[in-house]
Structure formats: C-alpha cells, structure tokens
Amino acid sequence: MPTHHETRKLPYTAQQMYDLVADVGRYPEFLPWCSAARVRETHPIDGGTVMEADLVISFKVFRERFASRVTLWPDDMKIDTEYLDGPFKHMISKWAFRDLDGKGCEVEFFVDFEFRNRILQKAAGVFFNEAMQRIVRAFERRATQLYG
C-alpha cells in the first residue's frame, strides 16, 4: 500500500490554498492525468460540507473513473477524501492548511491507496512517489496562476 506524506511552505494564505484544493470541479484544468471531474452532490454537515465527486484518471491506455467523498472542514482548514467506488481497494487523502507567522502558509498532504488490480498496483509502485510529487507541484503551479 503506497503512502505519501509531504509538507510544503508556500507564499499564499491557507485560505487560498484551501479554496484551490476544495474546487474539485476544476481539477482537469491543471491536475496531471485528471481528464474529467464532476461534483455529483454536496450537503452541509455540522462544521463543514460533504461532496461526492467523480474523477476520471487517464494515463496512456489506462482510463478509470472513481468516486470519492470529500469532506470540507473550513474552520479547521482541512479536507478529507475517502474512496467510494472504482479501481481502488482503498484510498484516502488528507489536506491541512495553516497560516504561518509573517507570510505564507504550510500545506500538509497525505495519501494512502491500493489498487484492486495487482498489475496496476505494481505499476503504481514504480512511479508512485514521482506521480505524487507531480500532483503536489501541479497545485503549487495553479496557486501561482491564480494568486501569484
């Protein structure tokens, strides 16, 4: 089960980065391998909002849709994602955003997943860390486009 954990300091506010990550419907505009995104529904919960979303991931001949539940915690500046349906055995991700004294913010990202298909899982293991770093950098570039 590959996991990736990364903490980055960025020259944007925690709110700006939270808003960028929470805008799931715009992921195809900047996220590698994300060819489509659709927010199916949103509903409020105590202290936050839950959205159910579908993403289509395309990489060479591999094209899969997966559904996830994204829980937005605006007061805590956190976003939790859990897998609902698709090619994974399991998948969770967590984002946390914190303003730093002075300027900028700290962004913490964690993901843990496992594909159902052993061949896909083995292939993912080969390029997993590089892929996760590309995804995090794509969010950073998007922040520069929007806020920099």
Write down the architecture of domain 3-147 according to CATH: 2-Layer Sandwich (3.30)
Per-residue pLDDT of the chain (148 residues; tens, 9 = 90+): 578 899 999 999 999 999 999 999 999 999 988 999 999 999 999 999 999 999 998 877 778 888 999 999 999 999 999 999 877 778 899 999 999 997 899 999 999 877 766 766 666 665 667 778 888 899 999 999 999 8
> Domain limits of the chain?
3-147
CA terminus-to-terminus distance, the chain: 36
Per-residue burial over 63-93, b if 16 or more Cβ lie within 10 Å, else e, is eeebebebbbbeeebbbbbebeebbbeebeb
The 10s digit of each residue's pLDDT in 85-114 is 877 778 899 999 999 997 899 999 999 877
